[in-house]
């Protein structure tokens, strides 16, 4: 099965008011061509789940600057002053989640689990509105799973079936979000024929990938 598509075809799967998961850590490992395509098409009122909002001129930060996001669920916004400005002005909703908790919530969404128990945030503002569970005398917060309509993944290499290889730090959230969305679009730097990749280097199996574009 050949899953290669053109950027325009990939963008046609995106729509206003969707929830997207986007890979990247401070912009590293973010599918920039797809982000630029979203900006060009003006797809707005999006909810984005990601590690962070990068910088004003890079990655998810460009979506913030163009005011295409209504909500973000991220671990920090400190590298993007525009996210903070919009949050304080009431122009964007920001849910800050401790980084380890965030990735575990996404993992739970991908695995079909009901949530994760963590002591992180107990006794802080993080616990507000959340269920507390006591086990063996220790208090935990029940953090609920996260899923998205579409995951936008950046890979170093992909084969035509969708098996993916990541490069060093650009791997970050990408393999996890690929398991936690209803539709998975991959932007790959290099695309090879099925059977070329060494099975030992494949991180994300092609069975979870729906579409691949060349980055």
| 142-155: pLDDT as tens digits | 999 999 999 999 99
Tell me whether residue 187 is in a domain: yes
The enclosing domain of 77 has a CATH number of 3.40.1080.10
Residue 132 lies in a domain: no
The whole-angstrom distance between residue 99's C-alpha and the CA centroid of its chain comes to: 13
Residue 74 lies in a domain: yes
d(CA 209, CA 206): 5
C-alpha 139/C-alpha 95 separation (Å) is 22
Query: Per the domain annotation, does 161 fall within a domain?
Result: yes
Model's pTM, two decimal places? Answer: 0.94
Name the nearest CA neighbour of 129 among 119, 142, 120: 142
What confidence tens digit (pLDDT) does each residue in 158-196 have?
A: 999 999 999 999 999 999 999 999 999 999 999 999 999
Is residue 43 a part of any domain in this protein?
yes
Q: Is residue 1 part of a domain?
A: no
Determine, yes or no, domain membership for 127: no
Residue 60 corresponds to which tokens in the numbers above? Answer: 């998810």
Confirm if 125 and 98 have CB atoms less than 8 A apart.
Answer: no
Residue 130 lies in a domain: no
Rounded Cα–Cα distance for residues 152 and 128 (Å): 30
User: Which residue range is the domain that position 159 belongs to?
Assistant: 7-113+145-214
Count of domains forming the chain: 1
Nearest to 19 by CA among 178, 211, 147, 112: 147
């Amino acid at each position: 099965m050949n899953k290669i598509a053109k950027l325009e075809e990939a963008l046609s799967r995106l729509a206003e008011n969707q929830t997207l998961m986007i890979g990247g850590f401070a912009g590293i490992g973010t599918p920039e061509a797809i982000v630029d395509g979203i900006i060009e098409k003006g797809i707005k009122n999006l909810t984005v789940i990601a590690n962070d909002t990068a910088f004003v001129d890079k990655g998810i930060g460009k979506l913030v600057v163009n005011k295409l996001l209504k909500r973000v669920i991220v671990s920090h916004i400190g590298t993007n002053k525009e996210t903070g400005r919009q949050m304080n002005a009431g122009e964007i909703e920001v849910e800050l989640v401790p980084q380890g908790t965030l990735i575990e919530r996404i993992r739970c969404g991908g695995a079909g689990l009901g949530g994760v128990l963590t002591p992180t945030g107990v006794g802080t503002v993080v616990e507000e509105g959340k269920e507390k569970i006591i086990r063996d005398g220790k208090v935990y917060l029940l953090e609920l799973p996260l899923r998205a309509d579409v995951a936008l993944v950046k890979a170093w290499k992909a084969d035509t079936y969708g098996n993916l290889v990541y490069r060093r730090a650009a791997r970050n959230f990408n393999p996890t979000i690929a398991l936690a969305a209803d539709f998975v679009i991959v932007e790959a730097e290099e695309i090879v024929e099925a059977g070329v990749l060494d099975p030992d280097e494949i991180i994300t199996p092609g069975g979870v990938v729906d579409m691949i574009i060349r980055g």
